[in-house]
Amino acid sequence: MPAGRKERRFSQKSRHLGRRGPTSQKQLAGFRWAMDAHQSGLLQQLLQQDPAYDYDLIVIGGGSGGLSCAQEAAVLGRKVMLLDFVVPSPRGTSWGLGGTCVNAGCIPKKLMHQAALLGQALTDSRRFGWEYSQQVKHSWATLTEAVQSHVGSLSWGHRLALREKAVTYLNSYGEFVEHHKVKATNEKGQEAFYTAAKFVIATGERPRYLGIQGDKEYCITSDDLFSLPYCPGATLVVGASYVALECAGFLAGLGLEVTVMVRSVLLRGFDQQMAEKVGASMQQLGVRFLRKFVPVEVQQLEKGLPGRLKVVAKSTEGTETMEGVYNTVLLAVGRDSCTKKLGLEKIGVNISEKTGKIPVNDEEQTSVPYVYAVGDVLEGKPQLTPVAVQAGKLLARRLFGGRSEKCDYVNVPTVVFTPLEYGCCGYSEEKATEVYQAENLNVYHARFWPLEWTVACRDSDACYAKIICNKLENDRVVGFHVLGPNAGEITQGFAAAMKCGLTKQLLDDTIGIHPTCGEVFTTLEITKASGLDITQKGC
């Protein structure tokens, strides 16, 4: 190992240790760990580097998973390079470091969801005594400018964090050229080659197109929506997954005319009773659903920002066709893993032929032992930012920190940020029935009317809570579902309880917080099987 590198690594470590007082408990525990590791030989093993390589670790992809893994490895004293490159969308949209979540996913999506909720709050506010006479209208330009400004600051923050942790960041596209070696190509087409002992693939996914006439020319995807330089106007959203419904939801909440074209079911993979309730709540907001249709052609009728597009669609159940005219067509028909142009075949990393995703073992190791993968590229794992972050961090600790904790992909909570939010953790009713059989399940449910909605005279029957319990395990909660305001905030806490083995009895023993939506879970009494009425009456 070159002397300079060794010094840098130790000075980094001592800076890290020096942050707290020399006698802090944490530091003492650290010294004790170091002594033990030294005696067992682990320390020597961890510090051992192969001088044959430029880096200990090269991470390809600077999104949620890649950033977390690269930074943790650097904190552990390793020499790390991170390559991140955004191939512009067919409409030319591109962005900086940070990946999907920061630039074209969770963050801008949640901010636009908030913009839509504020519109609803304005309407409610009159019932609470607010009087205002100005015409209320929404400015798309102000919203996108504010959202992009925040996104830009997060992206910049990631750059600074990499610099602080001495991770070498290159805005270059990475691909394997031979074992332990990648080619990094920058925006100008300049190529450089780097070697590393270990690699992590965290290249994520990008929106899929339909392959029909006019799709790449005239349609946009979520990659383009959050920075669209003009208000999309009347919008057709194609697809019925969470990305589709979330985008449709906030566009409708901003006052736009929104139609969703659904090929089969809403929210495939989610609890279907809940999915239909999400759909019903969106319909109430004015979203139109075209069920069992797929687009076959998109034509431009008029140029403009936005222009006018004609969409021809055909039924999935017969020969019927239909046409519609929209200002914008947003495709949300799935996402393809960025694994095809990584040169994986050159080093023998297997990918699933069907999905393009990378199968890994429970330590995120691919078919090539020195190559690992985290995040959305993984086969059969939840595709969520906190999952990618956790997997990346724990992977770095196992590779370079002598730790053994693995990412737990079970009972991962998630939320669909439709105007009425849907939060869930654990199994859908369909999946629970498949795993445990219907006769072994108790399904408790209730409708609830948030207090804030009473004065506002909003729908008393829209919000719904459901838990699925396994009778054979003392009524352990195996599925948690809530449709209501702030479902994300509610679900997070119950997810922690489920990790601790939450049972129906424990919920009954929990004292609620009044008046909140979450308290409904402490008073669930009616099972679905009983058929008793759960209708809420009001307004």
Task: Kindly list the catalytic residues.
Answer: 514
265 interface partner picked from ligand NA7, ligand FAD, none, CB below 5 to 8 A per type: ligand NA7
116 labelled binding-site residue: no
CB atoms within 10 A of CB 262: 20
Tokens of 368: 């090539």
Contact call for residue 202 and ligand FAD (CB under 6 A): yes
Q: What is the DSSP string of 234-294?
A: SEEEE--SHHHHHHHHHHHHTT--EEEEESS-SSTTS-HHHHHHHHHHHHHTT-EEEETEE
Contact call for residue 63 and ligand FAD (CB under 6 A): yes
55 labelled binding-site residue: no
Q: How far is the CB of 326 from ligand FAD (least distance, A)?
A: 20
Determine how β-strand 181-186 pairs with β-strand 168-170.
unpaired
Query: In the beta sheet, which residues pair with residue 236?
Result: 259, 329
Amino acid making up residue 279: G
334 labelled binding-site residue: yes
Contact call for residue 214 and ligand FAD (CB under 6 A): no
204 interface partner picked from ligand FAD, ligand NA7, none, CB below 5 to 8 A per type: ligand FAD
Query: In the beta sheet, which residues pair with residue 291?
Result: 262
245 labelled binding-site residue: yes
Using a 10 angstrom Cβ sphere, with 0-12 exposed, 13-18 middle and 19 or more buried, the burial of residue 121 is middle
- State how far Cα 80 lies from the chain centre: 25
Q: How far is the CB of 207 from ligand NA7 (least distance, A)?
A: 6
Pick between residue 166 and residue 265 the one whose CB is nearest to ligand NA7.
265
Taking CB under 6 A as the criterion, the residue among 80, 86, 309, 313 binding ligand FAD is 86
What angle is formed at CA 334 by the lines to CA 331 and CA 340, rounded to 5 degrees? 115
CB atoms within 10 A of CB 172: 23
Only one of the segments 82-90, 429-437, 508-516, 517-525 lies at the binding site for ligand FAD (rule: CB under 6 A); that segment is 82-90
Taking CB under 6 A as the criterion, the residue among 72, 364, 376, 429 binding ligand FAD is 376
Using a 10 angstrom Cβ sphere, with 0-12 exposed, 13-18 middle and 19 or more buried, the burial of residue 175 is middle
Q: How far is the CB of 212 from ligand NA7 (least distance, A)?
A: 8
Rounded CA gap, 503 and 475, in Å?
Answer: 5
> Which x/- pattern over 345-364 shows residues binding ligand FAD (rule: CB under 6 A)?
--------------------
77 interface partner picked from ligand FAD, ligand NA7, none, CB below 5 to 8 A per type: none
Pick between residue 271 and residue 364 the one whose CB is nearest to ligand FAD.
364
Pick between residue 244 and residue 432 the one whose CB is nearest to ligand NA7.
244
Pick between residue 210 and residue 384 the one whose CB is nearest to ligand FAD.
384
Contact call for residue 384 and ligand FAD (CB under 6 A): yes
With contacts defined by CB under 6 A, how many residues of the chain interact with ligand FAD? 34
Rounded CA gap, 220 and 93, in Å?
Answer: 10
106 interface partner picked from ligand FAD, ligand NA7, none, CB below 5 to 8 A per type: ligand FAD
Pick between residue 49 and residue 414 the one whose CB is nearest to ligand FAD.
414
Contact call for residue 419 and ligand FAD (CB under 6 A): no
Contact call for residue 482 and ligand FAD (CB under 6 A): no
Closest to 367 (Cα-Cα) out of 389, 382, 388, 345: 345
Q: Quick check: helix, strand or coil at residue 334?
A: coil
Q: How many helices (H) and strands (E) does the chain have?
A: 17, 22
239 labelled binding-site residue: yes
Determine how β-strand 172-178 pairs with β-strand 181-186.
antiparallel
Contact call for residue 117 and ligand FAD (CB under 6 A): no
Q: Quick check: helix, strand or coil at residue 123?
A: helix
CA distances from 406 to 351, 366, 426 (A): 22, 15, 19
268 interface partner picked from ligand FAD, ligand NA7, none, CB below 5 to 8 A per type: ligand NA7
Tokens of 435: 């795993």
8 Å CB contact between 171 and 17: no
Pick between residue 376 and residue 429 the one whose CB is nearest to ligand FAD.
376
Question: From the annotation, which residues make up the binding site for FAD?
Answer: 110, 174, 376
Question: From the annotation, which residues make up the binding site?
Answer: 110, 174, 239-246, 334, 376
What residues make contact with ligand FAD under the rule CB under 6 A?
Answer: 60-66, 83-86, 99-101, 105-106, 109, 173-175, 202-204, 222, 243, 338, 342, 375-376, 383-386, 388
Question: From the annotation, which residues make up the binding site for NAD(+)?
Answer: 239-246, 334
